[in-house]
Amino acid sequence: MEKLIITRPDDWHCHVRNGAMLKTVLPYTARQFARAIIMPNLKPPVTTVAEALVYRAEIVQAIPEHLDFTPLMTLYLTPSTTPQDVKDASENPYIVAFKYYPAGATTNSDAGVSAVQQIYPVLEAMQQFDVPLLIHGEVTDADCDIFDREQVFIDTQLSAIVRDFPALRIVLEHVTTQAAVQFVTANNANIAATITPQHLLYNRNALLVGGIKPHYYCLPILKREQHRLALVNAAISGNPKFFLGTDSAPHLTHLKENHCGCAGCFSAHAAIELYAEVFEDNHALDKLEGFASFYGADFYRLPRNTGTISLTKRAWTVPEYYGEKQNQVTPLRAGESLRWTVE
């Protein structure tokens, strides 16, 4: 039986929600990852250090007792965020970054920023205090095609941010296009990107061919095959600018199987197993550890983990649902087989 032992990985982009949903999903992330960056797009959003500490305490309560897991908190940038908020965040050991959602771009982004110029003083402070900026990189103009929104964001906003704040550390989250891979690769070491399992495994046909498949609907939306291939090449390249971020984003099943279904794929139940399939399919299992366990920690200037996890080549079937009746979440690959098992 094939076996793969790697340093315990971290998830550099994860949604765990709060309340009952948090209790359902958090154990899956805590089971395989040592740390995860927790996204702040709750309702209402997590905008201050004080709110992040309350949220952090709720997460810590939900960690199963035998597991060693550290949540890394982020704050949600709004038009009211001040340079003082940035300074406060920089002085708190539990807060690692700010998240920039263009208003209206995705789930719970209404409180986000509609014009990046609005937050230039805040970006200046982030550069000064060395707090990373995590970006949902999509424009929201009604006349911009949904498949073009990432590329247009790079051309019209990200290039300007990178030009105007050369020392600001930036993560372009969940990249989905060749243009994003090229942009991140071409720019200095302050610019990195996370890549999700769904964008490595699937193109837009998975979402749209043979009927609409709501559990493959996430934002940024799945793209053409040529873009998926560019992402795979980036992930297996060994370039430390590209690292693991699942964007695991649970929604209740009935809110995804809906006339106006929510965006997000729940992948925490099998995150490293899904990535392992991608790396194996591309003859690059030797590159998985760097992507999953080293490069993100290095970018955030945190120590690499010391423990290991062990993956065995043994197939299992993903359940149709996780969670109690009232709280059911349909996972990525529900009812289908996965090749790798975490011991």
**Partner in contact with 10, chosen from ligand DOR, Zn ion, none, beta carbon below 5 to 8 Å by kind:** none
The amino acid at 250: P
Q: Which of 85, 247, 274, 300 binds Zn ion (CB under 5 A)?
A: 247
Respond yes or no: is residue 110 known to be catalytic.
no
Q: Which of 264, 290, 323, 331 binds ligand DOR (CB under 6 A)?
A: 264
Q: Which of 41, 151, 187, 239 binds ligand DOR (CB under 6 A)?
A: 41
Contact 295, 235 (CB under 8 A): no
Q: Total residues contacting Zn ion (rule CB under 5 A)?
A: 1
Q: Which is nearer to Zn ion, 11 or 247 (CB)?
A: 247
**Partner in contact with 157, chosen from ligand DOR, Zn ion, none, beta carbon below 5 to 8 Å by kind:** none
Contact 161, 123 (CB under 8 A): yes
The amino acid at 109: S
Tokens of 29: 């992330």
Contacting range for Zn ion; rule: CB under 5 A; set: 159-167, 181-189, 204-212, 245-253: 245-253
Beta bridge partners of 11: 36
Q: Which is nearer to ligand DOR, 218 or 332 (CB)?
A: 218
332 forms part of the interface with ligand DOR (CB under 6 A): no
Beta strands in the chain (DSSP E): 3-7, 11-14, 35-38, 70-76, 95-100, 133-135, 170-172, 191-195, 242-244, 308-312, 316-317, 337-338, 341-342
Q: Which is nearer to Zn ion, 83 or 261 (CB)?
A: 261
206 forms part of the interface with ligand DOR (CB under 6 A): no
Contact 124, 83 (CB under 8 A): yes
**Partner in contact with 111, chosen from ligand DOR, Zn ion, none, beta carbon below 5 to 8 Å by kind:** none
Rounded distance, CA 263 to CA 174, Å?
13
Between β-strands 11-14 and 316-317, what pairing exists: parallel, antiparallel or unpaired? unpaired
263 forms part of the interface with ligand DOR (CB under 6 A): yes
Contact 16, 38 (CB under 8 A): yes
With both helix axes pointing from N to C terminus, report the angle between 271-281 and 225-235 in degrees, rounded to the nearest 10: 100
Contact 330, 19 (CB under 8 A): no
- Shortest distance (Å) from residue 219 CB to ligand DOR: 4
137 forms part of the interface with ligand DOR (CB under 6 A): no
219 forms part of the interface with ligand DOR (CB under 6 A): yes
Helix intervals (H) in 282-336: 288-289, 295-300
- Shortest distance (Å) from residue 122 CB to ligand DOR: 20
Q: Which of 218, 285, 329, 338 binds ligand DOR (CB under 6 A)?
A: 218
Q: Which of 89, 119, 139, 249 binds ligand DOR (CB under 6 A)?
A: 249
Residue in the block written with tokens 């080293």: 294
Catalytic residue annotation: 247
Residues of this chain that interact with Zn ion (CB under 5 A) are 247
Residues of this chain that interact with ligand DOR (CB under 6 A) are 15, 41, 106-107, 136, 218-219, 249, 263-264
